[in-house]
Chain A
């Protein structure tokens, strides 16, 4: 074939559109059929295009084939129902209706949004929500999902199978929630998008391309919510802003050897200025209404991270944002970051007192923080904390970071 990369590209962009439309049309009872028809369409494309060459409009070709396969399925299903329940056959179905499959941009978009709400229903476990979203909304293969979660295909297959059963058991409808419900349901959609992003941004998988794609997909899904007037809410804009700011440093976070680069040592020319300005734009859009979500606070913190200069204003702002974030939702990592900001705003002695109250023993970041705080104040203690951190660190990347800090320490004591 002339374009070896064309089919993977189309698979990535079109699979999710076709599968969402068909799934919406068939309902969750026939979800597997929707997936099979879509996969078959691509299989056929590989065969036919390989023999006859790529058609002038490959996307239209895919849509036509998928439509015909879907119509055949609906037709067969109707015939079957008519035979099984002949009583109703005489009234409504004397002639079989035409089955239209609407693959217009509008319906593709609507179907994807509706699927997003259905798949992120609170009845489904968060990890199953992510798995299903990657499969149905992002068109990821089972192998890629397994890679992203550092597990095997069987585990993912089982997880998706159970999640689909749950969608049917709970009789979850593929539709946008009503206006009064939307804020509540959005929480769970945003949580899934955020998890998807974090999976890409913080995961320990070495597959950088895949990790970046996870981040991009999370941003794409969030952007769909921003584009729809019913779901374009302040927290949605705040989350999108947060993800723009964070991903602006994607290239700078890892060096050519694949090792993590500390924030202080990052080459700011590698920061993506375009993403930073988009982040600012969505942060601005999020500043309406009277709702202050954790995403607002995290986006504002992420904004300050795009300001490399170590000003007092920066750290005082970051500290107060963490103070508020922790009141909305406690997490160990936010507690540690808050204490680091405290050391920058109020000085190390204050921060050491506060850090020792955190009591996050078992967490190597905790000992890394204590090591950093004691550096220059009591280097013997600092070294002990770094050693403890090294013994608890789980990945090579983390160990590299800690060793760099120990080097810094010995550089200072000499």
Chain B
């Protein structure tokens, strides 16, 4: 069993959703995570709020937020246990973020740290 990181990307992080819409997404996200946890496959995960975010560039240049020219922002991540990348992809497919056009979930295998990758 390997660990995979699901990286949740939003096309435009500045879009403001209505509180009702936020509420629905929140529930869908909680149910999605709960479903993975109910299979004993959840390792960890968290949201990445946009407040207090900075980008540090070459030669110590610091700018506000991950936005600006960058179109995509990372809204959160989750680490899951999966027998194969295909299984991890199945988990990713349930992510409510994917309801937004242009949004994506990147699936990446986590290196085991034992020198073998």
Contact = CB atoms under 8 A, between A and B. Distances in A.
Question: Do A and B actually bind?
Answer: yes
A268 interface: no
Contact of B39 (A319, A335, A346): A335
A354 B35 contact: yes
A277 B40 CA distance: 34
Contacts of B27: 316, 320
A306 interface: no
Contacts of B34: 319-320, 322-324, 326-327, 338, 342
Contacts of A358: 38-39
A359 B41 CA distance: 12
Contacts of A324: 30, 34
A186 to B, nearest CB: 23
A338 B39 CA distance: 11
A357 B37 CA distance: 11
B40 A319 contact: no
A209 B33 CA distance: 41
B33 A327 contact: yes
A205 B31 CA distance: 36
Contacts of A326: 34, 37-38, 42
A330 interface: yes
B33 A335 contact: no
A323 B39 contact: no
Q: Which residue, of B37, B38, B42, has the highest number of chain A Cβ atoms within 10 A?
A: B38
B52 to A, nearest CB: 19
Contacts of A342: 31, 34
B78 to A, nearest CB: 10
A322 B31 CA distance: 10
A134 B99 CA distance: 55
A354 B30 CA distance: 14
Contacts of B33: 323, 327
A248 interface: no
Interface in B10-55: 27, 30-31, 33-35, 37-40, 42, 45
Contacts of A319: 31, 34
B31 A335 contact: no
A339 interface: yes
A323 B33 CA distance: 7
A320 to B, nearest CB: 6
Interface string A303-342: 0000000000000100110111011001000110011001
Nearest to B34: A323
A357 B31 contact: no
Given A327-B42, A330-B40, A357 B35 contact: yes
Interface in B70-105: none
Contacts of B35: 354, 357
A307 B45 CA distance: 32
B39 A339 contact: no
Nearest to B90: A357
A169 to B, nearest CB: 33
A141 B35 CA distance: 45
Contacts of B30: 320, 323-324
B42 A330 contact: yes
A323 B31 contact: yes
Interface string A342-360: 1000100000001001110
A267 to B, nearest CB: 32
Contacts of A322: 34, 38
A335 B40 contact: yes
Interface of B: 27, 30-31, 33-35, 37-40, 42, 45
13 contacts: A319-B31, A323-B31, A323-B37, A326-B38, A327-B37, A327-B42, A335-B37, A335-B40, A342-B31, A354-B38, A357-B35, A357-B38, A357-B39
Q: Which 10 A-B pairs have the closest CB atoms?
A: A323-B34, A326-B37, A335-B38, A330-B40, A327-B37, A323-B30, A338-B38, A354-B35, A326-B38, A327-B42
